Amino acid sequence: MGIGLKLVKKMEEWFKENGAEYSYMATEKDNSASVNLFTNKCGYSKFRTPSILIQPVFAHQARISKRVTIIKLEPSDAEVFYRRRFSTTEFFPTDIDVVLSNPLSLGTFVAFPKVLGYNYSWPGSDKFLDNPPESWAIVSVWNCQFQLEVRGVSSFKKWVARRIRGVDRACPWMRIPSVPEFFRPFGIHFVYGLGGEGVMGEKLVKELCGAVHNLAKERGGGVVATEVSAGERLRKGIPHWKRLSCPEDLWCMKKLGEDEDEDDEEDVGDWTKSAPGLSIFVDPREI
Per-residue pLDDT of the chain (287 residues; tens, 9 = 90+): 889 899 999 999 999 999 999 998 988 888 899 999 999 999 999 999 999 999 999 999 999 999 998 999 999 999 999 999 999 998 999 999 999 999 999 999 999 998 645 554 444 346 677 777 889 999 999 999 888 999 999 999 999 999 999 999 999 999 999 989 999 999 999 999 999 999 999 999 999 999 999 999 999 999 999 999 988 999 999 999 999 999 888 999 999 975 544 554 444 567 788 888 889 999 999 88
Of 207, 166, 205, the residue nearest 60 (C-alpha): 166
Instruction: State the pTM of this model.
Output: 0.86
User: Domains of the chain (ranges plus CATH)?
Assistant: 3-50+248-286 (no CATH), 52-237 (3.40.630)
Backbone angles phi, psi at 105, to 5 degrees: -85, 115
For residues 188 and 142, the answer to whether their CB atoms sit within 8 Å is no
